[in-house]
Amino acid sequence: MSKYDLTSEEIEIIQKMRKEKEKEKENRELIIKALKTAAQYEEWLFYNGMGSSFSTFVDDFGYQDKDVRLIYQLVESIRDDIMAEVNISRE
Convert the pLDDT of each residue in 47-76 to its tens digit. Answer: 999 999 999 999 999 999 999 999 999 999
CA dihedral (23, 29, 33, 36) positive or negative? positive
d(CA 71, CA 57): 10
pLDDT tops 90 at residue 25: yes
The residue count of the chain comes to 91
Indicate the pLDDT class of residue 90, thresholds 50, 70 and 90: low
Render the burial of 69-85: b for 16+ CB within 10 Å, e for the rest: eebbebbbebbeeeeee
Cβ proximity of 78 and 38 under 8 Å: yes
Using 50, 70 and 90 to split pLDDT, how confident is the model at 88? confident
